[in-house]
Amino acid sequence: MTNPPPPNDSPLNQPDPQGPGQEHPSPERPNSDHQASPESRGPDHHANPDPQPAPAASPDPQPAPAANPKHAPASLWRTLAKAAGHGDDLTPEQQITRRTFVSFSAFALLGAAAWKSWFWIKDAVQSDGVQTPLRKVLNGDDKIFKHTLSPNHLAKTWPREQAAKNVRYNSGIGLGADPATWRLQVTRANGETLAITMDDLKALPKTDFAFEFKCIEGWSQVSWWGGVRFSDFIQHYNLASETQKAYVGLTTPDDHYYIGVDTPSMLHPQTILAYEMSGQPLPTRHGAPLRLIIPIKYGVKNLKCIGKIFFSDDRPRDYWFERGYDYYCGL
């Protein structure tokens, strides 16, 4: 990596670092290459104070020093350029030595800078389980990709009979609500809390579909879920003003597992409060009596065993976010 050549009085003086076509002596160069200007190769090139001797046509690699009058106003740049190996009064050996030195010094310096920045990231203070610079980039990525979210971008659905019979189970944090006493608690903007029973929910229109559930670990599986579309639920309970808030928070009844989801994703037409899996009531290990199914997010956001729902403009706390994962997790 050489430094760009210093500016000179004449444009002809500047070896163009961008111009691969220029001055390349390779005999294989196609003839059509118009960039190989005759000026840089002509027999009179010594008359031009060309810092890079054009090697192809030069019968004499020793540039004529006389062509560069010593009395010319020697700018600082020219002195520096010469020191760096760019000057027609340098022998090829001097040019090679100096330019090699400069290039390798720059190379070593940049390598050291890269090495240093690596440790700057790696050893940075943590922010929610991950190095702060990385956390900032994750948040920035969300800002970029949330614009791709569209209610028209639906997860592909599959024939129900193709859904897995043995649905994969990964985590059981916060499971085991007592179905007899369970109520879905929804905190309204005015502080009032709704306590909704399973029968209330089942009275609402049911939505069911099979889709490819995707875990943040990297596996995926087609599974079949049924329940109430979250947007139907919002409409039925007149929670439209609550959805003006940026986020929806959901927790298990015991608060051991908790997530936050951006409201637009919660209102996606495939986001459902599910009480059925594979056409049967939800088993405990898959989140009985009610869980979130949100196909446009990784599994970590598909909270099992919903106890409470609330709305907030700040990000609700999120279990895996606190452990270094991305908050948005949008697919």
Partner 1 sequence: MARIKKLVPKHPLAIRWMHWINFPVLFVMIWSGLLIYWANDVYKIHLGHTVYFSFFPESFYKGLNLSRRLAEGMAFHFLFMWIFLINGLAYVLYTLFSGEWRYLFPNRRSFKEAGQVLLHDLHLSKKAPPQGKFNAAQKLAYTGIIVMGLGSVLTGLAIYKPIQFQWLTTIFGGYGNARVLHFVLTLIYCLFFLVHVLQVILAGWNNFQAMVTGFEVLSDTKNKTHD
Please report, as residue ranges, which positions from 58 to 97 form the binding site for partner 1 (by CB under 8 A): 61, 92-93, 95-96
Looking at residue 186, its amino acid is V
223 to 282, contacts with partner 1 by CB under 8 A?
A: none
Q: Smallest gap, in angstroms, from Cβ of residue 79 to partner 1?
A: 20
* Residue 129 or 179 with smaller CB distance to partner 1: 129
| Contact pick of 156, 164, 173, 240 for partner 1 (by CB under 8 A) | 156
280 to 299, contacts with partner 1 by CB under 8 A?
A: 295-296
170 to 189, contacts with partner 1 by CB under 8 A?
A: none
Q: Smallest gap, in angstroms, from Cβ of residue 170 to partner 1?
A: 11
Q: Tokens 């003839």 belong to which residue?
A: 31
Q: With CB under 8 A as the contact rule, which of the stretches 72-80, 171-179, 185-193, 208-216 interacts with partner 1?
A: 208-216
Q: Smallest gap, in angstroms, from Cβ of residue 85 to partner 1?
A: 9
| Contact pick of 167, 216, 246, 267 for partner 1 (by CB under 8 A) | 216
95 to 124, contacts with partner 1 by CB under 8 A?
A: 95-96, 99-100, 103-104, 107, 110, 114, 118, 121
125 to 144, contacts with partner 1 by CB under 8 A?
A: 129-131, 133-135, 137-138, 141
Q: How far is CA 274 from the centre of its chain?
A: 31
* Residue 24 or 236 with smaller CB distance to partner 1: 24
If DSSP codes are grouped into helix, strand and coil, which group holds residue 108? helix
Q: Smallest gap, in angstroms, from Cβ of residue 119 to partner 1?
A: 13
Q: With CB under 8 A as the contact rule, which of the stretches 64-72, 152-160, 251-259, 283-291 interacts with partner 1?
A: 152-160
Q: Is 53 in the site for partner 1 (CB under 8 A)?
A: yes
294 to 323, contacts with partner 1 by CB under 8 A?
A: 295-296, 320, 323
Q: Smallest gap, in angstroms, from Cβ of residue 136 to partner 1?
A: 9
Q: With CB under 8 A as the contact rule, which of the stretches 1-9, 183-191, 201-209, 280-288 interacts with partner 1?
A: 1-9
Q: How far is CA 204 from the centre of its chain?
A: 39
Q: How far is CA 47 from the centre of its chain?
A: 53
Angle in degrees, 0-180, between the axes of helices 92-122 and 132-145, rounded to the nearest 10 = 90
Looking at residue 184, its amino acid is L
**Which residues make beta-bridge pairs with 160?**
none
* 88 CB-side CA count, 13 A: 25
Could you tell me which of 304, 321, 277 has the C-alpha nearest to residue 170? Answer: 304
Sign of CA dihedral 112, 118, 119, 121: positive
Q: Smallest gap, in angstroms, from Cβ of residue 277 to partner 1?
A: 21
58 vs 41: CA distance, rounded Å: 8
119 vs 151: CA distance, rounded Å: 41
Could you tell me which of 96, 9, 114, 116 has the C-alpha nearest to residue 53? Answer: 96
68 vs 322: CA distance, rounded Å: 67
Q: What angle do CA 283, 288, 293 make, to 5 degrees?
A: 100
14 to 43, contacts with partner 1 by CB under 8 A?
A: 15, 17-30, 33, 35
203 vs 70: CA distance, rounded Å: 97
Q: Smallest gap, in angstroms, from Cβ of residue 34 to partner 1?
A: 9
194 vs 237: CA distance, rounded Å: 9
How many residues sit close enough to partner 1 to count as binding (CB under 8 A)? 71
Q: Using H for helix, E for strand and C for coil, what is the string for 73-126?
A: CCCHHHHHHHHCCCCCCCCHHHHHHHHHHHHHHHHHHHHHHHHHHHHHHHCCCE
Q: Smallest gap, in angstroms, from Cβ of residue 296 to partner 1?
A: 5
